[in-house]
Chains A and B, each alone.
Chain A
Amino acid sequence: MIDISNDSLDKDSPRIWAIGGGKGGVGKSVLAANLGVVLAKRRQRVIVVDADLGGANLHTLFGMPDPELTLSDYIDRRVASLDEIILGTSIPGLHLVSGAHALLEMANPKHGQKRRILRHLQELEADHVILDLGAGTGINVLDFFLVSHRGILVVVPEPTSVENAYHFINAAFARKLKQTEPRKKIAAALEQITAAHGGKRSKSARDLVADIMVIDPEAGAAVLAAAATFAASIVVNRATSASHDRLAAEMSMACREYYGIGVEALGTLPTDPLVARSVIDREPVAAIHPDCPFATAVRRMASGLKGD
């Protein structure tokens, strides 16, 4: 278990934003890169970390085809700290920790390795650390998500992506409960509830809290607090219509009213042909076309970022 909870972060450590969303190809890396550019342009020290081990490509988005030092050097302990693998990019103030060349087995770092990464992330000399997470809901992805001040879920307006986002929220919340004290009492209560429901867990967090309150009020209060501190936001990417513009707010409302946890609607990013163009040109669109619709929306989104 990772016991570095986001409560233990002190004020001088960087703000950590994790960008996930379950589904591949929804624009997580593009958002990570451009959010980095936008924050760096505000004279913030930014480090973008490619935590998509096994599927890393942030370096390519920054036009760095073959980064000399990457997370694999750190994981294999060829270097002692994350600081040594921080690379400069073409954008002043913006740095990259690349995940390139990571071997497949590194996609699932061992428990001790993960602890070390998570601890070092919090010690980085920066104002913002942006974690670009891989697809899926593996334990490592969830732990990076939960260690952040705020997890940002990228969703595209398609049922498959919405489905993966809800699956991600569900999995992340379940993972958070496993790390919430009193762990043993919560685990025992959850087991009782599962048994009472004939092997099925209560589906929504709201139902879970109601059930757990009856069984063990202390565990119930802890679960309620965990639900209240679950800091996640939704960003809808590749929006093309007014109904897409409402999607983030609607999903936020559904999470609150049905599921029982607050997932904030952070913004909507429009479909912008310059984004695809910039990927081919290997330069973040916010750096070359700062006033294009996509970059403008990312700036607006960055202004709304809150994480405590």
Chain B
Amino acid sequence: MVEPIQREDWEVLGVEPGANLEKVHRAYHTRRNLFATGSLATYSLLGTTEREEFLGRIDEAFMRISNAAADLNAASSEETEEQLRMDRALAGLRTPTDLVGDPGAYLHHHRLVSGLTLEQVSVETKIRPNLIAAIEKEEWHKLPASVFVRGFVLQIARLLRMDEPEQLAAAFVEKMRIERGED
């Protein structure tokens, strides 16, 4: 059983209760950077111990929310009322499990979980950020020929240390061909 989300966890991350996972991730990374030891914007505002405590609170809040999301995704078969309620509250946190049906969303989710921004993925893979975004959003008309796209998806999936890069790349290109009406 994972530790339940506490009321103030949302507040600590500065997001609305039940905010979607993308927002939670963004809020977490913003605060992590803002209160990091070398941050100019919080220089001298907190003492060393206070800074550690404050960062600890941010980490714990994030951990509880993301663990609860992961737990939800483990999709237990007994749907208690409590669980249904949590389910609705955390609808935005659901992991897309359909690699074949939603390969873009699947990739997007794994990037968020890894904590990497579009820019960071772009620096590592040398793929332009708007192309990565187009892949994640499955904006087919913005993407080049499938042979290139297959390589992009592979690179990103490997960077994110996903289990099935080949399978994901194949699924993505297959869906793209169908959607674009290619042979």
Contact = CB atoms under 8 A, between A and B. Distances in A.
Contacts of B77: none
Contacts of B54: 258
Given A253-B34, A257-B14, A159 B43 contact: yes
A259 B45 contact: yes
Given A257-B14, A258-B35, A258-B54, A250 B47 contact: no
A167 B44 contact: yes
A163 to B, nearest CB: 4
Given A166-B45, A203-B47, A203-B50, A254 B40 contact: no
Contacts of B23: none
A281 to B, nearest CB: 32
Binding site of B, secondary structure by majority: helix, strand, loop or mixed? loop
Interface in B4-60: 14, 30-31, 34-35, 39-47, 50, 54
Nearest to B54: A258
Interface residues of A, number: 18
A136 interface: no
Interface string A136-178: 0000000000000000000001110011001100000000000
Q: Which of B31, B40, B44 has the most CB of A within 10 A?
A: B40
Interface in A190-222: 203
B14 A254 contact: no
Interface of B: 14, 30-31, 34-35, 39-47, 50, 54
17 contacts: A159-B44, A162-B41, A162-B43, A162-B44, A163-B43, A163-B44, A166-B45, A167-B44, A203-B50, A246-B41, A250-B34, A250-B39, A251-B42, A253-B14, A253-B34, A254-B42, A258-B35
Interface of A: 157-159, 162-163, 166-167, 203, 243, 246-247, 250-251, 253-254, 257-259
